[in-house]
Structure 1
Amino acid sequence: MKNIHLYFLICLAMCFAAATCQADEINAADLFNTANQAAINAEYEKAIPMYLRIAKSKGVSAQLLYNLAYSYAKTGQTGRAVANYERALRLDPGNEDILANLEQVRKDAGLYRDDSPIYTRLAELLCADQWLMLSATSFLLLAITLIAAQTAVSLPPTLLKGLSIGCLVITLLTLPPALYRYQSWNDGVVTGNDSRLLISPFTGADPTGEIKAGRLIRIKQRHGDFVLVEATTGKTGWLRQDSIISLSELTDLTASPKTDESS
């Protein structure tokens, strides 16, 4: 009898947990729709906290980041708009809507970019996981081909040789873009007003130049409250850590939004 009661309590607890999860999903969906409606009504200041609340409780998706970036752009927060468009693009590479909006934000802020090398443009066609999956698949086919060559499988030697060379070439060609895409998650975006590049990681250090909010940077080193960065323009220097957003660190999605302007 005790076992029956225990079984009943376990089933009841599981049903309650399932109902709670379902309710959370419904609430998140309702909140997302409400945020979208606020954005449609040009109430971007109302939409942003709702998107951030969803990101904090349910995580991020390309669509959520896209909508959040759009709202940031409409409120003049160029740095945060660029950062979240870049994040969305890493989750959904090649998305034409994300690319178009990101390019428009950069154009409006005067953040012109030099033409990227063809290798970079090719690497950005897929996300890091997709490149890695392609590389792993070709390596697996290479292993199968080599095993087949050592067994009694009756395949023409020229075919086995061609398959081996082809798989090896694909493996070698897909590993570098996978590594490049993984490294790109270490990029950041400048969000601070009138951000100045410093020659050393100290508050009183001499500036070497200014860098606009929304500029994409590669984080090279950290020292206290400062980070050594290299911009896409080739400029290098130290910035205060609170004046940038790291694309891989989503802590800004749980913080109160701040207004940034192009310097």
Structure 2
Amino acid sequence: MRNKTSGTLLAMVLLILVMVPFGVQATDLASRFEEGNAAYSRGDYDSAVEIFSEITSQNGNAASVLYNLANSYAQRGDTGLAILNYERALKISPNDPDILGNLAKVRKDRGLFATEAGKLERLFSIFSIDGWAILALCCLFVMILLLAISLKTRPGRRMFFTSWSCTLVILTLSVFATAYNYRSYNPLVVVAGGVKLQISPFEGATSAGAIEEGRLVFPIKSYNNYTYVQDGAGRKGWLKNDEALAVIQRTP
């Protein structure tokens, strides 16, 4: 009995020793978050940016911290970094009205109006990338099922051909839509001012046109310190890697 009690007490002590650092860390995190909010409230946006950036770098991304970081960048006039962090917050909380509202306001204030989507883009935006992928898998399953049924019961040729063809069309559409949405799933945000697309990935290359800070661009390929991108208007060119940052950060 004594040994069992001693073991229980030892386990409780070890559990407390393990949990205490987590409690201290949570308290420190909350304290730093409030410090960032206080800095923002008094108009010290540089300190707010520093504090919220420190929280994200040490503790990972959270929608509330990214949202406050984006607000701080917006107030400081860093349009690209503000939009980047709003977009990152939306990846975590896609339907948050505050994030969506502030992102739309920043874009409107800076004249960053979106290009009108074409018919194909509107069609592909009916579902998310996950939705199209699931639909493609369902179509594939139905086609296998139809094939299995045809081998056992010999259904009418016209009925089988019609069902198979319709399913194949939907499968093809789903695959193309998934690929299209994958291309735009993780865009880059132009975070520097005075950026120009280049026709080749070398210093001093000829410009292919200016691109505004805060614009979304879509990566195609990379070479050394450059990325070949396409903007919403269909223009293509090379950007330096530090001129446009990915919404979804890749872990080293």
From the superposition, tell whether residues 71 and 173 of structure 1 become closer, same or farther in structure 2 (CA, over 3 Å): farther
Question: Which stretch of the first structure deviates more once superposed, 119-128 or 73-82?
Answer: 119-128
Structure 2 spans left out of the alignment, 5+ residues: 150-167
Q: Which has the larger radius of gyration?
A: 2
Whether 2:88 is the aligned partner of 1:87: answer yes
Higher relative contact order (CA 8 A, sep 6+): 1
**In the TM superposition, what whole-angstrom CA distance separates every residue of 1:55-111 from its partner, at most 9, and x where no partner exists?**
112211222211111111110101101111112222222333222211221122222
**Matched residue, 1:208:** 208
Please say if residues 190 and 212 of structure 1, whose CA atoms lie closer than 8 Å, have aligned partners that are also in contact. yes
1:192 aligns with 192
Q: Percent sequence identity over matched residues?
A: 33
1:50-129 to structure 2, matched below 5 A, reads: 50-117=51-118
Q: CA deviation at 1:12?
A: 3.1
* CA distance, structure 1, for counterparts of residue 211 and residue 233 of structure 2: 10
Helix, strand or coil for the counterpart of 1:234?
A: coil
In the TM superposition, residue 33 of structure 1 has moved relative to its aligned partner by: 2.1
Deviates more, 1:224-233 or 1:101-110: 101-110
Change (3 A) 1:199 1:170: closer
C-alpha contact 2:183 2:218 (8 A) present in aligned 1? no
How far 1:42 moved relative to its partner? 2.1
Q: What letter corresponds to residue 194 of structure 1 in structure 2?
A: G
TM-score (norm 1): 0.70
8 A contact 1:191–1:213 mirrored in 2:
yes
* Structural mapping, 1:38-53, within 5 Å: 38-53=39-54
How far apart in 1 are the matches of 2:171 and 2:125? 17
Give the partner amino acid of 1:95: D
Q: 1:2 to 1:27 in 2, by over 3 A?
A: same
- For 1:236 and 1:16, locate their aligned partners in 2 and report how far apart those are by CA, in whole Å: 56
Task: Kindly provide the amino acid, as one letter, of the partner of residue 90 in structure 1.
Answer: K
Quickly say closer, same or farther: Cα 1:194–1:66, change in 2 above 3 A: same
In structure 1, the residue matched to 2:23 is: 22
